[in-house]
Chains A and B, each alone.
Chain A
Amino acid sequence: GQQVMQIPQYQHVQEGEDFTTYCNSSTTLSNIQWYKQRPGGHPVFLIQLVKSGEVKKQKRLTFQFGEAKKNSSLHITATQTTDVGTYFCAGQETTDSWGKLQFGAGTQVVVTP
Chain B
Amino acid sequence: DGGITQSPKYLFRKEGQNVTLSCEQNLNHDAMYWYRQDPGQGLRLIYYSQIVNDFQKGDIAEGYSVSREKKESFPLTVTSAQKNPTAFYLCASRGVNQPQHFGDGTRLSIL
Give A43 to B21 CA distance when docked, in angstroms. 18
Partner of A100, one of B41, B58, B90: B58
Q: Are B43 and A43 in contact (CB under 8 A)?
A: yes
Does B102 lie at the interface of the complex (its beta carbon under 8 Å from any beta carbon of A)?
yes
- Residues of chain B at the chain A interface (Cβ within 8 Å): 1, 31, 33, 35, 40-45, 48, 50, 56, 58-59, 90, 94, 99-105
Does A65 lie at the interface of the complex (its beta carbon under 8 Å from any beta carbon of B)?
no
Closest residue on chain A to residue B59 by CB atoms: A1
Instruction: Report A88 CB to chain B, min CB distance, Å.
Output: 6
Q: Are B31 and A88 in contact (CB under 8 A)?
A: no
- Residues of chain A at the chain B interface (Cβ within 8 Å): 1, 6, 9, 33, 41-45, 48, 88, 90, 98-101, 103-106, 108
Interface of B: prevailing SS: strand
Also in contact, A105 and B41, with CB within 8 A (given A43-B90, A44-B1, A100-B58) = yes
Closest residue on chain B to residue A4 by CB atoms: B42
Instruction: Report A7 CB to chain B, min CB distance, Å.
Output: 13
Partner of B90, one of A42, A98, A99, A105: A42
Also in contact, A108 and B40, with CB within 8 A (given A98-B48, A100-B58) = yes
Interface of A: prevailing SS: loop
List, sorted by A's number, 20 A–B pairs whose CB atoms are closer than 8 Å. Answer: A1-B59, A6-B42, A33-B99, A42-B1, A42-B102, A42-B103, A42-B105, A90-B43, A98-B31, A98-B56, A99-B50, A99-B100, A100-B33, A101-B45, A103-B43, A104-B42, A105-B41, A105-B42, A106-B42, A108-B40
Also in contact, A98 and B42, with CB within 8 A (given A33-B99, A42-B104) = no
Known: A33-B100, A43-B43, A44-B1; 12 extra A-B contacts, CB below 8 A, are A6-B42, A42-B1, A42-B103, A42-B105, A45-B100, A88-B43, A98-B56, A103-B42, A105-B41, A105-B42, A106-B42, A108-B40
Closest residue on chain A to residue B88 by CB atoms: A42
Instruction: Report B9 CB to chain A, min CB distance, Å.
Output: 11
